[in-house]
Amino acid sequence: MRHLAPILGLALVALAPMAVAKSADNRTIVDDFVDRFYRQRDVAGAFAAHVAPGYVQHNPGLPDGPDAAVAALAPMFARPDARFEVKHLLVDGDLALVHLFGQGKPGTAGAAVADLYRLKDGKVVEHWDVLQPIAEGSNPLAMADAPPSDRSHTATNRRAFSQFIDLLFARGDVEQAYRRFAAPDLIQHNSRMGQGRDQAIAAIRALHAMPGASFTVQRILVDGDFAAVHYRGKLAADDKGAAVVEIFRFDKGRIVEHWDMLQGVPETSRNAHPMF
């Protein structure tokens, strides 16, 4: 296999411009979809313009197809006192991630939401989401002042993030993952963790040490200075686990800020492929 390495390397170099072009084309589509859907709240118009008829739905509360999503979401988005505030938008090849604050029902604290979309041939064909109600007194979507994401950093940050994910999930080496790739003064938006790298290491090591714990990565995205991982986390072998999305901000090659959302996998679902 060693003699194939130069050939594979050349193939990856050749494919890189194609991946960048795909991201650029899909970014235009996603930007318009996000603007219509979340900002203008024109759910029906956004879906009519950009969602394929065979839309695969992983939200356990909805069946497959765009009509079911529009029927469920349009009334909620039409409420004048509802709030939907996009915080981050990542586009990576045929995947897009929208990180937002959602408050569909007045009088509630709302939720931190990650909507993941897959595109094919210029249309949104698949959707996953993770919704975490916001705990009283916490602000998990707060954002520190930061420069705009620089997309010229995508390739460098992808290499770093791939190594970070390998250490953290494949090898289970929490200590090395965070000490190599996270800044000591890591800004933490998870209200259950303290600030800083050491607090993150302590909390995550405790989770990984639980008997039967497992973490199965589903997909990763890297877009400029932001990266995200979507995975199934289980703390015991016999539980259904949870869908998790974690978002990281890089600065000068190191992770400096972190957000996450978690939602338990339900017992029942209106589609055949809930959460994953």
Would you state the pLDDT for residue 135?
85
Q: For residues 232-244, b (16+ Cβ closer than 10 Å) or e, as one string?
A: bbbeeeeeebbbb
106 and 165 co-located in one domain: no
Would you state the pLDDT for residue 34?
98
Residue 163 lies in a domain: yes
Domain end marker among 68, 100, 133: 133
12 and 122 co-located in one domain: yes
228 and 166 co-located in one domain: yes
Domain end marker among 72, 104, 133: 133
Q: What is the DSSP letter of 149?
A: P
Residue 218 sits in a domain of what CATH number?
3.10.450.50
Task: Work out the pLDDT band at 5, boundaries 50, 70, 90.
Answer: very low
Q: Cα separation of 225 and 32, whole Å?
A: 22
Segment among 115-129, 146-160, 166-180 with least mean pLDDT:
146-160
Residue 15 lies in a domain: yes
Task: Report whether pLDDT(189) > 90.
Answer: yes
Q: Cα separation of 220 and 226, whole Å?
A: 11
Residue 174 lies in a domain: yes
Task: Report whether pLDDT(197) > 80.
Answer: yes
80 and 180 co-located in one domain: no
118 and 6 co-located in one domain: yes
Task: Report whether pLDDT(167) > 90.
Answer: yes
85 and 129 co-located in one domain: yes
255 and 173 co-located in one domain: yes
Task: Work out the pLDDT band at 1, boundaries 50, 70, 90.
Answer: very low
Residue 276 lies in a domain: no
The mean predicted confidence, pLDDT, of the chain is 91
75 and 158 co-located in one domain: no
155 and 37 co-located in one domain: no
Residue 82 lies in a domain: yes
* Domain of residue 99, residue span: 2-133
What are the pLDDT digits (tens) for 214-237? Answer: 999 999 999 999 999 999 999 998
Task: Give the number of other Cβ atoms within 10 Å of residue 125's Cβ.
Answer: 17
122 and 171 co-located in one domain: no
Q: Report whether 271 contacts 57 (CB < 8 A).
A: yes
Q: Report whether 144 contacts 137 (CB < 8 A).
A: no
Q: What value does the mean pLDDT take over residues 248-264?
A: 97
87 and 6 co-located in one domain: yes
Would you state the pLDDT for residue 85?
94
Q: Which residue, 131, 125, 130, is CA-closest to 103?
A: 131
Count of structural domains, the chain: 2
Q: Cα separation of 114 and 176, whole Å?
A: 27
- Tell me whether residue 219 is exposed, middle or buried, using C-beta atoms within 10 angstroms of its C-beta: 0 to 12, 13 to 18, 19 or more: middle
Q: Cα separation of 272 and 109, whole Å?
A: 30
What are the pLDDT digits (tens) for 24-71? Answer: 799 999 999 999 999 999 999 999 999 999 999 999 999 999 999 999
